[in-house]
Amino acid sequence: MADGATGKAAGKGRGPPPPPPPPSGKAASKGSKHAGSGAPESIQILAVLMDGREFSLQIECEGRVEGLRMSLGTRLGISSHRVKLALGAEVLKNESTARACGLSDGCVVNVVILPPLYGTLGRAGVAAPGEVVAAKMELHDALAQVMFALPKTDFTELATAQFEVYHWNLEPVRVQRAARALRGTVTGAFGLLQGRRCGQSGDARAYRGPHFLFVPINRIDNHVCKYLSELVGCAQKQTALLVGQGDWALRRMASEPLDRAELPDERLQEAVRLLLKGRDLAGTSLKEVRADLEKKFNLSAGSLDSRREKVKQFVAEEISRIQAGEAEEAEEAGEEAQEDGEAQEEEEAKEPPKASKPRGSKRGKEAKASPPDAKRAKGTAEDPPRRSTSGEGKGKGKIKDRQSSSMTREEFMAKAKPITVTIGDKTFKAAPKLFSTGSCGFMASTKVPVEVGGQSLVLQCGLNLPVIGSKEWSD
C-alpha cells in the first residue's frame, strides 16, 4: 500500500499537466491570426474615382485585386471588367503586380471606369487589342500637338485671372473652383498629396504651388473631360486652377483682351451669325454688335475695338446673306401671285359677258312678250362681243408668252439701267438683278422713314421686281 500511495503521490506531484483543449469559434480565428506569419487576412483600401468619390473597402488579402474590382463593380452597379486600378504609376492587373507595387493595408488606389465596351469584351474573355490602344494614343498625340501650338498661359498670374478650359474643338467649359474645394475632389482623384509629386506615368505630374494647383490631366482618360464639364456654374472667384496637357488646354480670361489666336475668326464669324439671327437689323449698330460679342466672350469693354474692321466685314456678309434669303422668298411669292393673276385673267376672258337689259324699256317688254324672238336676238347680239372679249382677254393673259422670248438674260443685264422707285417721301434706285430662280428684274434694299403718331420710325424696305416671263429666257 505504501508503494501504491507513494506512486500515486509521485504521479500527482511530478507528472506533466494535461494538454489544453483545441480552440474553437472566434478564439480559433484570433489565435490563428497571431499564431500565423503575422500577415493580416484582410486589408483596408481607399479607392478614389476620377470624379472625386471615395470608397473605403475591406477586402481579403488573398486575391485583393480581383476582390477590389468586384467590390467596386457592385458599389457602382457596373461590370468588374470596366474597373481599372492604379497604384502610383503602375496598373494593378493581378496579384503579382499587387505584390510588386506593395499594395497593403491603408493604400490609396486610383480608379478609372472604362467604357461599357471594355466590360463586354472582358466578359467574353477578349482584351482590347494593342493596335487599338496604340491608335487611340496616336489620336490623342495629334490633338495634343494642335493644342501645344497655341500660345501658353503665364502661370505667374493664375491666382487673379478668370479662366475657361477649351477642348481641342474650341468648345469652352468654365472652371471655377476654390483651392480647398478643388483639393478635396480633383486632387484626390489624381492621388495628389500636399507638396508631393503625383505618381503618374510620363510627364503627367502634379504640384501644389503657394497660390494655385497645377494639375496636368491624363490625356487618355475621357472621364476627366466629363468631370470638367460638371464644374460649370461654381463660385465666381477661384484661387485654384486646372491646367490640361493633351486634349485640354487652359486659356486665361483676364482683364486684357484675348489674342487673335485665342479668338479665331471662325468663332467670331459664327458668333456674329447667331447674334444677328432674328434681330432687328435696322436698329442694330456695329458698336452694339461689338459690345454683345464682348459680353459673349467675357471680354472687357472695348476689347474688340482693334478688330472692328473684321467685325464690320462679318456683319455686312451676314446682313447680305439674310437679305438675299428674304429677296428669294419675296421673289418666289411674287411669281406665284403673278401666275395666279394670269390664270384668273384667262378664266375671266373665257367667260361670256352678261347682256344688260334696261328696266322699263320698250325693248325689254317686247323681249319679255316674245321669248323665241328674244332668244334669237340674244344669240345674235352676243356672238360678236364674245369674240371681241375673248381676243382682248387672250392678249392680257398671255403676257408671259409674249415676253418669254423678248431677250436673253445676258442682254438684259447688259442693257438694263437702274429704275427710280418712290415709297413715301423716299426716292431710291432699284438695280438690275439676275435672281437665283433664273428670272431677271430689279431689286432694291433700303431704309424708309415714316411718321406714325408723331413719332419717326424707320422701315426696312426690300423690293423684288421680276420681269414676267424672264425665267424662260436663255442665257
- What are 363-406's pLDDT values in tens digits? 554 545 555 554 444 444 444 444 444 444 444 457 788 888 88
User: What residue type is 154 in one-letter code?
Assistant: D
Instruction: Report the alpha-carbon distance of residue 419 to residue 430 in Å, rounded.
Output: 5
What are the φ/ψ torsions at residue 45 (nearest 5 degrees)?
A: -125, 135
CB 393 within 8 A of CB 346: yes
pLDDT at res. 284: 79
Q: Is residue 306 part of a domain?
A: no
Same structural domain, 419 and 374: no
Same structural domain, 124 and 95: yes
Instruction: Report the alpha-carbon distance of residue 129 to residue 122 in Å, rounded.
Output: 12
In 3D space, the residue among 398, 459, 405, 464 whose CA is nearest the CA of residue 430 turns out to be: 464
Same structural domain, 100 and 182: no
pLDDT at res. 375: 47
The number of folded domains in the chain is 4
Same structural domain, 149 and 94: no
Residue 419's pLDDT band, with cuts at 50, 70 and 90, is: very high
Q: Is residue 155 part of a domain?
A: yes
Q: Is residue 271 part of a domain?
A: no
Strand runs labelled E in 376-473 = 419-423, 426-434, 440-452, 455-466
Residue 71 has pLDDT above 60, yes or no: yes
Report H helices in 106-250: 116-123, 130-148, 179-183, 186-189, 222-229
Q: Which three cell numbers stand for residue 358?
A: 334696261
- Give the structural domain span for 370: 333-350+361-403
Same structural domain, 423 and 464: yes
Q: Which three cell numbers stand for residue 38?
A: 503575422
The kind and range of the H/E element at 252 are strand 249-253
Residue 464 has pLDDT above 80, yes or no: yes
Same structural domain, 375 and 413: no
Q: Which three cell numbers stand for residue 432?
A: 438690275
Q: Express each pLDDT in 107-144 by its tens digit.
A: 888 887 776 666 666 667 776 655 654 555 565 556 55
Residue 300's pLDDT band, with cuts at 50, 70 and 90, is: confident
SS3 90: strand
Mean pLDDT of the chain: 63
Same structural domain, 47 and 123: yes
Q: Is residue 288 part of a domain?
A: no
Q: Is residue 17 part of a domain?
A: no
Residue 181's pLDDT band, with cuts at 50, 70 and 90, is: very low
pLDDT at res. 179: 37
pLDDT at res. 129: 59
Same structural domain, 422 and 399: no
